[in-house]
């Protein structure tokens, strides 16, 4: 019941107030869980891996006929020299050098929580950590919008040392 009241309260606020809060106030928090690479010689252990990484996504203002979502991942928390390495309509990739404390990490990561709630869907944002490098992959393959079109990568950039993206679809 309190969620309904809160939702109604938000609707009563002027749009100018909500937009003044900034994107971070309305962003969805995405937690990626790190899973070590299973290797018989290591007993499934991988030294020096982070436990989680954080990404954020924000639905952009409505545009007739479609929607878009902007996002970023805090990759600079574990890596340096990050750059965009590949992009097509389906996916975008960034690669960086793992910081010394994570250099020996052999693991992957995928979405496991969104805004604190367990997530068991398709992880369209994934990481690979191997040989001192990290690769972040945003992949829309298999993602569908309301009209059964594949969602597309609209933009891929870097800002403040972190990968940024925009993806969208039709409504």
- Give pLDDT tens digits along the chain (171 positions): 433 333 333 333 343 333 444 444 589 999 999 999 886 555 555 678 999 999 999 999 988 999 999 999 999 999 999 999 999 999 999 999 999 999 999 999 999 999 999 999 999 999 999 999 999 999 999 899 999 999 999 999 999 999 999 999 998
- Can you give the pLDDT at residue 62? 85
12 Cβ contact partners less than 8 Å away, ≥ 6 residues apart: none
* Bridge partners, residue 15, by sequence: none
Nearest to residue 61, comparing CAs of 7, 17, 11, 19?
Answer: 19
- Can you give the pLDDT at residue 57? 97
Q: Return the structure tokens found at 110.
A: 């995928």
146 Cβ contact partners less than 8 Å away, ≥ 6 residues apart: 169, 170, 171
Rg of the chain over Cα atoms, rounded to whole angstroms, equals 18
* Helical (H) or strand (E) element with 33: strand 28-36
Question: Do residues 86 and 135 touch, judged by C-beta distance below 8 A?
Answer: no
Question: Do residues 106 and 125 touch, judged by C-beta distance below 8 A?
Answer: no
105 Cβ contact partners less than 8 Å away, ≥ 6 residues apart: 34, 36, 46, 47, 48, 49, 50, 98, 129
Give pTM, 2 decimals.
0.80
- Can you give the pLDDT at residue 43? 53
């Amino acid at each position: 019941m309190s969620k309904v009241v809160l939702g109604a309260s938000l609707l009563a606020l002027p749009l100018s107030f909500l937009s003044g809060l900034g994107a971070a106030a309305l962003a969805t928090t995405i937690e990626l869980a790190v899973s070590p690479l299973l290797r018989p010689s290591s007993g499934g252990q991988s030294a020096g891996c982070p436990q989680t990484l954080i990404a954020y996504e924000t639905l952009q203002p409505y545009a007739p006929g479609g929607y878009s979502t902007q996002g970023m991942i805090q990759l600079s928390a574990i890596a340096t020299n990050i750059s965009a390495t590949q992009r097509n309509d389906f996916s975008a990739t960034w690669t960086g050098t793992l910081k010394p404390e994570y250099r020996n990490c052999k693991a992957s990561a995928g979405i496991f929580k969104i805004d604190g709630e367990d997530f068991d869907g398709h992880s369209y944002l994934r990481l690979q950590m191997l040989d001192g490098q990290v690769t972040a992959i945003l992949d829309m393959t298999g993602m569908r919008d309301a009209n059964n079109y594949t969602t597309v990568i609209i933009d891929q950039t870097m800002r403040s040392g972190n990968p940024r993206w925009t993806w969208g679809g039709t409504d």
